[in-house]
Amino acid sequence: MSEPIHLLPDETFVLNVGPQHPATHGVLRIKMRMHGEYVAEAETVLGYIHRMHEKMGELKTYPQFLMNLSRMDYLGALAYCHGHVLVVEKASGIQVPERAEYIRVITVELNRIASHLFGVGSFVMDLGGFSPLMYMLQDREYILDMLEAVTGARLTYCYYRFGGLYNDIDDTFIARARAFIPRCRESLKKYHRLITENIIFRKRLEGNVYLSSEMCRKYGATGGVARASGINFDVRKNEPYSVYPEFNFEVPVFTEGDSMARYKVKMAEIEQSLRIIEQGLDKLPDGPIMPEKAPKIIKPPAGDYYQAVETSKGSFGIRLVSDGSKNPYRLKLRSPSYSNVSLFDEACVGSMIMDAMAFFGSLDLVVPEIDR
Amino acid sequence: MIGYFQEIFTGLWSLFVGMSISFKEFFSPVVTVEYPYETVTMAPRFRGHIDLVPDENGATKCVLCMACERACPSGCITIEGEKKEGEKKKTLTLYQLDFTRCSLCGCCVEACNFEAIDFSKEYNLASTRKEDFYFDLLKRLQEKRQ
Amino acid sequence: MNFSLTLFNVVVAVIIIVAFVAMNAAYLVWAERRGAGRIQRRPGPNINGPFGLFQPPLDGLKLMAKQLLVPGGADKVLFAAAPVLAMFPAITSFVTIPFSDTLVAHNINVGLLCVFAFAALGSMSILFAGWSSHNKYAMMAAVRAISQSVAYEIPMLITVITVVMISGSLDLREIVRQQSGNIFHWNIFPLLGNSHNLLMPFSFLIFFICSLAETNRAPFDLSEEESVLVAGYHIEYGSMGFGLFFMGEYANIVVGTSLATLLFLGGWACPFGLFPGVWWFLIKVYALIATIIWIRWTFPRSTIYSLLNLSWKILIPLSLVNLLLTAGLLKVF
Amino acid sequence: MIRTNVLSAMRALFPEAPEAPPVVEAPPPVPEQDAAAAKKAEKSAKPAPRVNGVVERDYAVHGYHIDTQVAPEQLLEAVNILDQQQFFLETITGVDWIADQQLEAIYDFSHFGFEPCRVVIRTRVPRDNPQLPTISGIYAGANWHERETHEFFGIVFEGHPYLVPLLLPEDADFHPLLKDFKA
């Protein structure tokens, strides 16, 4: 592994990684001061696709902002939408029918699997293995087809409504979801044999950029990054929301703190999400998907409200400051990757550029979510 | 010393396992759809851009309540109507959708109380000109009627 | 008269070789893309012509139609020379590589040495390209390529020495002649045949790994790592400059696999001892190339330090031990 | 447990108000309110500025437990308390209370433990001279959040190592989330 080296400042050069660089998965720039192959200093530069969602939130009414959330993290969009509808429902005291909550949880977990599959796949692609991504895309495609049949969109969903859902799931969806579970378990086995046990992959990832739990705390890292460093934190368990308390699932925690652990957390989470979907399909109650008296105009009383949800990237928080009007007074979106990537500058110093980029990939970033 | 060789052998074995997997995949059938030559059928709930729904006469159901225009987050719907002589209600003369700004959220379809608009199943939309995406939905409806 | 006939022969041979290498390079791209496609459960290029067979010439046409750009600050001479140099070692190597007993451009009795001498020039083209491009990514890639090349020449040559010791010749034709007969006479198979090549499968493995690294193929394609170095040494090349690099990579693969075939797999000898000929040589070469493609689309990329560790800590000691043991076996039997 | 710890430590910051005001949480109004009530709600658009102090909030309504408003000088002290209790920084944000001519900075903290405890620290600064001490010395992750708050609201974090716009262009001199910002 890379040893800390004595850095001679006059022998360094600046390497501009990005904004258009294959490893940054979008437009994100890292200014690296290199000492040969070693990273001596890194500075992440954001904002290339900043769209000011928060100002849009202030200018639009509550229902009009629904579709913006899925434009944040387009891979695991439903969890973000979930957070948004939850905070507005909490603020205006809307009761959600149980069936709607169950369907939300099932679709969020399906979307989480899709996001993790793509996250892991593109991570492996960063390491040079292209075929695993293609295999994972096949499973992801199955989920997207399933969600498309229900929500009408493949990535940028606008499915949840304040109080419930846009439309109900049908038997075809349930049958396909049930068929998906054994299929995904089967392919997970394949991925473990193809990737997890592969010697090249293991050699690259084991010990690759260690993150201590203290560092995760200081930077506010959550999600898979924190769980790989031995922090047992999952908003679904620690701060249960929606109907998650009724599900029986585990939070995978690894203590190694390296990229291998971050990868393993994702793979283990796919299994846990499958368990949640299985239970959700079994328990799915009948009933309406919208409350009988859904308010036409959303006007939460003045005050401020906070809701955290666990997305595929970590803890997504949404702070709503309402002044009692049709528009939010302030809508703050706390995106998990923003905190997760902020520790990159410090953590990657002293490692080789290949390791730094592998570490970068293991953070599972989606740039529109960081830039908002 | 044993560890040294063990590592080499387990490493080599994991490589052979990986190669056996890709070998199996090599002989599995192709799963992709060759898009321009074959297409998939869109799901019934697929949300394309909006379209005016004809009533039984093939005319529009729109009554110019402007609910969709107000509901649209991006302001991409423009509706114009005029009151013809001898008629009580306004008739629709222009329903323009600026698809360059539409985000397919469906707020307009939900806002409509008259079921006058619905999602189309169009997805083969590509053009090099921006103007091609200013859809005149009323014209589309009339073309459909013919 | 005699001289001019030889010259004529050589010119014809070189033209044939250039055509062979270029066609191979072009169609191996097609084969790689088709193979990768099948491994990833998609069809690969299949639109242009039957099975997409017109894809490589059309790609070439497209590349040739593009403007050749020289980046500002680049060393123009080296920048232009590098892509030419990329193809050159492969073509010159083929001058001495025999396709069959009679089909060889110009056989010399130190053919093996000649091939390695030329093949070592390949990394020079990468160095030139990386240095002249005036680009940090390209420079880093070039440095990587050189350290990789230095590291892997050593075990490769040491392993080749074992073959040379067994055959007692540097003449490639002679090496193959000794392996003629059925499959068990090939150098790769121990016990039967040349009786004292117990460790030959092992040598073959080392040789194969080294030739992967020497030709910059996955999982050792660190000098063109697209996820960090974007495209590595040919980042600044467009047009046919890029095309030549691309073809050079495949031409080098053909050279590497040809050598492996000649040294270990019995060259043009038939596995059943029947009808030896150039077709058997080609079948073996393409089987090895298919394996290389298969490997590339299965594994992730190695890192530069584990790559160098593999060479210096595993392959070089092992190949030295291999050499010693082979020498001992030769002495005993 | 951790909630009471934090509560008592936070209350110690405000010695002049030993008794915390009793929490009076109006239940969320039923959605179908009559027009008069809706108008009334609109009239009370801006919540009255609260005095500095600690308030315990109803988690089910607000989504956080402890709401602390501190003076800018007390900020570091309050954040230190949370750091000692192993809290992590969720986010920093601002709110522009233009009617009061004040900017509010809101610090959201949460905890990795299994007892949910969300703490909000808020502090108000005058709109014409918004200055706050940086907490990036305590929480390294605050660096980016403070940069973001600086560029969106113009709040100057004194002592911040590198206070240049992060999401906006690096030469941006406008603060888009201020209510009087016109694009």
Number of H helices, E strands in chain A: 15, 8
Q: C255: alpha, beta or left, given left = phi > 0 and alpha = psi -120 to 50?
A: alpha
3-class SS letters over chain C: CHHHHHHHHHHHHHHHHHHHHHHHHHHHHHHHHHHHHHHCCCCCCCCCCHHHCCHHHHHHHHHHCCCCCCCCCCCHHHHHHHHHHHHHHHHHHHHHCCCCCCCCCCCCCCHHHHHHHHHCCHHHHHHHHHHHCCCHHHHHHHHHHHHHHHHHHHHHHHHHHHHHHHHCCCCHHHHHHHCCCEHHHCCCCCCCCCCCCCCHHHHHHHHHHHHHHHCCCCCCCHHHCCCCCCCHHHCCCCHHHHHHHHHHHHHHHHHHHHHHHHHHCCCCCCCECCCCCHHHHHHHHHHHHHHHHHHHCCCCCCCHHHHHHHHHHHHHHHHHHHHHHHHHHHHHC
Let me know if residue C129 belongs to a domain.
Answer: yes
**Residue at token pair 């009408």:** A152
Residue A238 CA to residue A221 CA, distance in Å, equals 15
Residue D31 has pLDDT above 70, yes or no: no
Instruction: Break chain B into its structural domains and give their ranges.
Output: 1-31, 50-145
Q: For residue A152, give the chain B residue with the closest CA.
A: B46
**Which residues in chain B land under pLDDT 50?**
none
- Give residue D41's pLDDT: 47
Chain A partners within 8 Å of B104 (Cβ): 67, 153, 156, 158
Residue A304 has pLDDT above 80, yes or no: yes
- Give residue C190's pLDDT: 65
Chain D partners within 8 Å of A300 (Cβ): 28
Q: Contact B107/A66, CB-based, under 8 Å?
A: yes
Chain A partners within 8 Å of B33 (Cβ): none
Q: Say which CATH superfamily domain A61-340+356-366 falls into.
A: Cytochrome-c3 Hydrogenase, chain B (1.10.645.10)
- Give residue D44's pLDDT: 46
CATH fit for domain B50-145, picks 3.40.50.9100, 3.30.70.3270, 3.40.50.300, 3.30.413.10? 3.30.70.3270
Q: Do chain B and chain C touch with ≥3 beta carbon pairs under 8 Å?
A: yes
Chain B partners within 8 Å of A152 (Cβ): 43, 45-47, 106, 119
A181 compared with A293, residue with greater pLDDT: A181
**Residue C199 structural domain:** 65-332
Ordered by where they begin, the domains of chain D are 1-17+50-183 (3.30.460.80)
Relative to beta strand D131-133, strand D119-126 is unpaired
Q: Contact A302/D63, CB-based, under 8 Å?
A: no
Let me know if residue C54 belongs to a domain.
Answer: no
Query: A1-41 pLDDT, tens per residue?
Result: 344 445 455 678 888 887 888 877 778 888 888 887 888 88
Instruction: Break chain A into its structural domains and give their ranges.
Output: 61-340+356-366
Of C39, C41, C297, the CB nearest to B31: C41
Chain A partners within 8 Å of B10 (Cβ): 199
Residue D19 has pLDDT above 60, yes or no: no
Looking at chain A from residue 12 to 51, which residues have their Cβ under 8 Å from any Cβ of chain C?
13, 15, 21-23, 34, 37
Task: Count structural domains, chain C.
Answer: 1
- Give residue C191's pLDDT: 61
3-class SS letters over B4-24: HHHHHHHHHHHHHHHHHHHHH
Residue A76 has pLDDT above 50, yes or no: yes
Our CA-based measurement puts residue C93 at a distance from the nearest CA of chain A, in whole angstroms, of 30
Segment D161-173 mean pLDDT: 83
Q: Contact B22/C43, CB-based, under 8 Å?
A: no
Query: A321-364 pLDDT, tens per residue?
Result: 888 788 888 888 888 888 888 888 888 888 888 888 888 888 88
Segment C298-310 mean pLDDT: 84
